[in-house]
Amino acid sequence: MHFELLHQDKSSQARAGKLVTDHGEIETPIFMPVGTVGSVKGVHQQEIENEIKAQIILGNTYHLFLRPGTEVLEAAGGLHKFMNYNRPILTDSGGYQVYSMSGSRKITEEGVKFQSHVDGSYHFFTPERAIDIQRSIGADIIMAFDECTPYPCDYQYAKRSMKMTHRWLDRCFTQMNNTEPKYGYEQALFPIVQGSVYTDLRQESAKYIADTDSLGNAIGGLSVGEPAEELYAMTEVVTEILPKEKPRYLMGVGTPVNLLECVALGIDMFDCVMPTRNARHGMLFTSEGVINIKNKKWEKDFTPLDPNGTSSVDHFYTKAYLRHLLKTKESLGMQIASIHNLAFYLALMKEARARIVDGTFTEWKNKMVVKLDQRL
């Protein structure tokens, strides 16, 4: 795997690059649809490639470990073959699930004991086991095991957690060096910057991660409830330190406005459940702003979902029809809304890339964040 930095915006830190993996190339900046259990919720693989035009998707180690389990995944030949998806895949190590299960897990220096949300059984993840499971899943890019701290978070807790995340990272690298990929293609390990919203901790963590000279680097522990200003401030602190010649992945972010602002700060990769989760509840992100399609104002609106949309559903279905489907809880409605939102996110990143290349990114971004933030 390697990364090529192709263009640098002159009035911001925005970049356009190319990430090359054994399962194909990824043009950055890029948004990765979340396929938690080996499926992007509500859409099938042909739509991921043809309608949404995703170049890489994300799977989750915790969920795939519980179901279907590593035995099934290994028998299938890895996640790519299991789900019949031949583009790049990234897996989160499960650190975020550790964060989100605060009532049913125990963190120690050795690892994390947690209770399954599926059947109540207990399991123990160590950094080594997180690597082994991701070897079995077979993603192209795998994440180091970390602790994602909550917000707000006490300074001393954030510091202890960050130090432990760094020690866990060392163990992840050792395990990577002591094992081999299972399916004949390379897997790249990305370390994760932590440190909550404390500038000195973020700087220390970013320097530690930069010194590992990894193929790429991730920023975790943000988009967990902190104000947008804190998200941007911490992202800027970290991108000033992380090496420019390596891809930067901001985990779990965010709204279309968040994405554009963070592209301007030098981020290359994003993922978030927001486009599909919000779609299922009737929130559409469009080229003109945000729509709550369940509102009565759309009941007799027979115009296309988004006349500027890039997917076929944007032009084939009307706002009134999608409102009807979602109000009656028809699964087709959730599918249409999910395809629309994901296609919008991918198209937004494609446009951002084009603007970086032609030198008009900052002017375009400043206009778009105002438009995209308005409620229609």
Separation between Cα atoms, residue 166 and residue 208, nearest integer Å: 8
Determine if residue 112 is left, alpha or beta; phi over 0 gives left, psi from -120 to 50 gives alpha, anything else beta: beta
Task: Indicate the angle between helix axes 361-372 and 256-263, nearest 10 degrees.
Answer: 160
38 assigned to a ligand binding site: no
Q: Is 195 annotated as a binding residue?
A: no
- Interatomic CA distance for residues 226 and 342, integer angstroms: 24
Examine the residue annotation and report whether 358 is marked as an active-site residue of this protein.
no
Instruction: Report the half-sphere exposure of 82 (CA within 13 A, side-chain side).
Output: 24
Please indicate if the annotation marks 175 as binding a ligand.
Answer: no
Q: Is 317 annotated as a binding residue?
A: no
225 belongs to an annotated ligand binding site: no
The H or E element that residue 27 is part of is strand 24-28
Q: Is 138 annotated as a binding residue?
A: no
Structure tokens at 341: 């939102």
The answer to whether 132 is a known ligand-binding residue is no
| Residue 112 tokens, joined | 């994390």
Q: Per the structure block, which two tokens stand in for 313?
A: 């559903």
Helices (H), the chain: 45-50, 61-66, 70-76, 79-83, 95-100, 127-137, 155-178, 199-210, 228-239, 256-263, 274-280, 312-316, 319-327, 331-358, 361-372
Catalytic residue, chosen from 268, 271, 306, 314, is 271
> Which DSSP symbol is given to 298?
G
CA distance 162 to 195: 6
HEC-encoded secondary structure of 232-258: HHHHHHHHCCCCCCCCEEECCCCCHHH
8 Å CB contact between 46 and 109:
no
Known catalytic residue at 301: no
Question: Binding residue per annotation — 120?
Answer: no
Q: Tell me which of 92, 268, 306, 314 is the catalytic residue.
A: 92
**Element housing 292 (H / E):** strand 289-292
217 vs 240: CA distance, rounded Å:
13
Residues in the annotated binding site: 92-96, 146, 194, 221
Residues in the annotated binding site for substrate: 92-96, 146, 194, 221
Question: Which residues are the active-site residues?
Answer: 92, 271
